[in-house]
Amino acid sequence: MKNTIEIECPPEILMGLHLDAQRFGELIKLQAAIALFKEGKLSSGMAARWVHLPRVYFFMQAMQSGAHFLDDNDDDFARETALL
């Protein structure tokens, strides 16, 4: 099942970003996935699948946004290494 969410966006924003509506939607989705990953609400694998990126590329995007991958606790380490 696929859900679609509609976001209102003034044309000035699209013009200012030099994006069409499709690319803007992709940008918003990627930023949301990274934010939810950073907050610990989505795993890296789930976020990567959502934005249709290989996990390593999602990690690279998230790192550029300042994401931390492990909080130095045993649960985070076990969860992340189990996915390798």
pTM: 0.75
- CA 59, CA 80: separation in Å to the nearest integer? 12
Q: Which residue has the higher pLDDT, 26 or 81?
A: 26
CB 53 within 8 A of CB 63: no
- Residue 65 pLDDT: 85
- What is the per-residue pLDDT across 22-65, written as a single tens digit (0 to 9) for each? 999 999 999 999 999 988 899 999 999 999 999 999 989 998 88
- Residue 82 pLDDT: 79
